[in-house]
Amino acid sequence: MQSANLLQRLVLPTPTTPEPLLYARTSSEVRLVDGGAVLSDGGTLSFDTSFGVFAAGRWRRVSQVNNLSVSVRASGVGIAEVVVVNGKKESVVATAQLPRGEGSPSSVMLNVPNLQESADGTYFVRVTAIGGEVCMTGGEWVTQDAPRHEVRMSLSITTFNRQEYVRKTVHNVLDLVRDNEALNGKVRVLVVDNAQNVTFDAAADAPLTVIPNGNLGGAGGFARGLIELRKAGWATHVLFMDDDITLEPEAIVRTMSLFAYAKDARLCVHGAMLSEERPWLQFEAGSQYSWRSIYPLQALGREDDMRERSVAVQDVAEVPFDYTAWWYTAFPINITNENPLPVFVRGDDVAFGLMHTGKHSITLNGVIVWHADFGLKNNPSSLFYESRNLALVDTLVFDKHTWWNLAYRFSSFGFRNLFSMRYASTEYMLRGLNAYLAGPAEWMKIDHAALHDELRVCAEEKPAPLSAELAAIRPRQPRHKALRAFGFLFAVVLVGGYIIPKPLRLKKYGVGPIDARAVGVATLRNRILYRHDRIADGYTVERDAKRFFKLLREVVKSIFAIATSYKRLKREYRAAYPRMVSNAAWEERFTSALKR
């Protein structure tokens, strides 16, 4: 009989797992211990969870897997079952008595119907103790089908002074590869160190390479990794991963398995992001991009509660992506010969996804990372990059994108910042737009590290721990969309409140969410507190009429500049694109950055 090939594992929570309900559901008669779980008589442990289910429908649609079994490592007086969920109906499709041997749990195998011939949506394993005690240590979903593709995957991690995070991630991956026969010799780790100071306590023969690199941002780090991996010629697939995430190691197992059995050799796998602060809350599971919108990045699965059983067991058809973020994006190395755009941060993954990986991407349960709230990372320098880089992305990717689309987005977002007293954000947006308007020749001359150091000097509108007085002011939840629209119209009529005499304005702080523009709230106030809704971080802004009218004139002037130069810039950027992303141009940047 042919040996079984691993598809995914049954991962049990540990006593220190932040959110056990992502992994397994237990009754009161179940006790989690190091390395497993102990079920007393009547106890039930089931994997009808976001990480625990086997997504049969998705595997059937995107892979060639047909033969399917699950090996359950459990011993004692009880049974193991495979339950199928089809819509609102559930039924048991396989049952086995557990072996009653002493010592470490042995395995029992349960077979399920041929996957490609079935219409089943979701499978999950359930273990029940009946008349005695059961010990369970995990299990594996496996197939005896031969892999369709040979897969050798290299992680490419770009890091800059995130030693604590990146060391944990790298060592978790190395431990996984060392202890897992299915991955040993098939997974390597490449770390591009933009700060040139990270070290790892890894064995000399560990599949780990560290490359010192100049600080060219995420785009430069991932470009360096991709170019080096192409030169080496070993990897068939690449996994781009941020340095400030917490990885679920099982994601690597499932990604490798999907690649090995993929129907589409161009299949790309995207890891969903969950919140570090609320580890059960999903931030994004892929994204769409609406170039006509003021806020073009539109996350899928935002704020799904991944503990919910209904979310875990439903079989949902694959949603088309426009792009996938680089906190976890895996793709065939030959999907393109092009490199990322030289944009430092913000938008590099958007362009790469729109052009190359997005339309081939899927998510899969258990392929996730955790990340800190993005609201704490946003600041005026972020808006410089978004203003500049997304204008470039739209110019390069969308034929129907016109000057009007760019002017509409810039003016709408600019006015929102102005009317909400976010003057520094407006200034950085203007600076970013002007960098785009300077054209590709000037873009190619940018010293990205020096520019980024300069941009970070801004001390305004940056989240930080609040004083006791400000922390005592309660957060305000985002208002209904209709109410926000009325607030914006109210602000326009009253010119942001600047035509209201100062004595008539409210003296207390207005309060806005940290990642929003409190336009309506700001109209009648002189001060706004932007604060996080769960932690005591935020910042304050104050009304400044002189600064407002100066920036208002600059925003209007920039709209005219967009209208008169966009067509020319579109031709120039598209003509310059091959050079901008070429190996030669990136090699020049690598050399120059290392000399700084």
More reliable by pLDDT, 156 or 377: 156
Q: Is residue 556 part of a domain?
A: no
The structure tokens 């539109």 sit at: 298
Q: 239: helix, coil or strand?
A: strand
Instruction: Give the pLDDT score at 252.
Output: 98
Residues 486 and 407 in one domain: yes
CA-to-CA dists, residue 299 to 273, 310, 319, angstroms: 11, 20, 12
Asked if residue 273 and residue 200 are part of one domain, the reply reads yes
Tally of CA atoms within 13 A in the half-sphere of 92 that contains its CB: 10
What average pLDDT does range 95-99 have in this prediction? 95
Residue 589 lies in a domain: no
Nearest to 232, CA basis, from 209, 260, 264: 209
The answer to whether 594 and 212 are in contact (CB under 8 A) is yes
Same domain, 136 and 168: no
pLDDT at residue 64 in the model: 97
Residue 35's pLDDT band, with cuts at 50, 70 and 90, is: confident
Residue 389 lies in a domain: yes
Tell me the average pLDDT across 63-79.
96
Q: What is the pLDDT of residues 390-430, one digit of tens each?
A: 999 999 999 999 999 999 999 998 989 999 999 999 999 99
CATH number at residue 331: 3.90.550.60
Under the banding of pLDDT at 50, 70 and 90, the label for residue 493 is confident
Give me the number of domains the chain comprises. 3
Among 338, 372, 406, the domain-final residue is 372
Helix (H) or strand (E) holding 531: strand 527-531
- Mean of pLDDT values over 461-465: 91
Tens-digit pLDDT profile for residues 581-590? 999 999 999 9
Reported as a single tens digit per residue, the pLDDT across 122-138 is 999 999 999 999 999 99
Structural domain boundaries, residue 131: 5-143
169 neighbors 249 (Cβ within 8 angstroms)? no
Backbone angles phi, psi at 535, to 5 degrees: -125, 160
The pLDDT of residue 475 is 86
pLDDT of residue 1: 42
Q: What pLDDT sits at residue 375?
A: 63
Whether 343 and 389 share a structural domain: no
Distance CA 474, CA 553 (A): 35
Min mean pLDDT across 51-60, 95-104, 421-430, 533-542 is at 95-104
pLDDT at 376: 65
Is residue 557's pLDDT more than 80? yes
Please provide the DSSP assignment of 294-332 as one string.
SS-EEESSTT-BTT-HHHHH---PPPPPSB--TTSEEEE
* Integer CA distances (angstroms), 100 to 106, 111, 130, 139, in order: 9, 20, 12, 17
341 and 224 in one domain? yes
pLDDT for the residue 103: 64
Q: Are residues 407 and 265 in the same domain?
A: no
For residue 235, the tally of other CB atoms under 10 A from its CB is 23
Nearest to 67 by CA among 128, 26, 133, 116: 116
377 φ/ψ sector (left φ>0, alpha ψ -120 to 50, else beta): alpha
Q: Which of 149, 346, 337 is nearest to 226 (CA)?
A: 337
The CA distance from 395 to 277, in Å, is 36
pLDDT band at 102 (very low <50, low <70, confident <90, very high): low
Q: Considering the chain, what percentage of its residues have pLDDT values greater than 70?
A: 97
Give yes or no: residues 326 and 415 share one domain: no
Residues 289 and 438 in one domain: no
- On whether the CB atoms of residues 112 and 123 are closer than 8 A, the answer is yes
What mean pLDDT is reported for the chain?
93
Question: Mean of the pLDDT values across residues 518-541?
Answer: 89
CA distance 51 to 491: 46
**Which domain-ending residue is among 324, 339, 372?**
372
Q: Which of 302-311, 478-487, 511-520 has the lowest mean pLDDT?
A: 478-487
Q: Is residue 335 domain-shared with residue 412, that is, in the same domain?
A: no
**In the listed set 372, 397, 417, which residue is the last one of a domain according to the structure?**
372
Rounded Cα distance, 494 and 171, in Å:
57
If asked whether residues 526 and 394 sit together in one domain, one would say yes
Gap between the Cα atoms of 249 and 584, Å rounded: 35
Amino acid letter, residue 571:
R
What tens digit of pLDDT does each residue of 311-342 get?
Answer: 999 999 998 899 999 999 999 999 999 999 99
Residue 23: pLDDT over 90: yes
* CATH code of residue 132: 2.60.120
Q: Is residue 492 part of a domain?
A: yes
Does residue 118 belong to any structural domain of this protein? Answer: yes
Q: Which residue has the higher pLDDT, 485 or 173?
A: 173
Residue 550 has pLDDT above 70, yes or no: yes
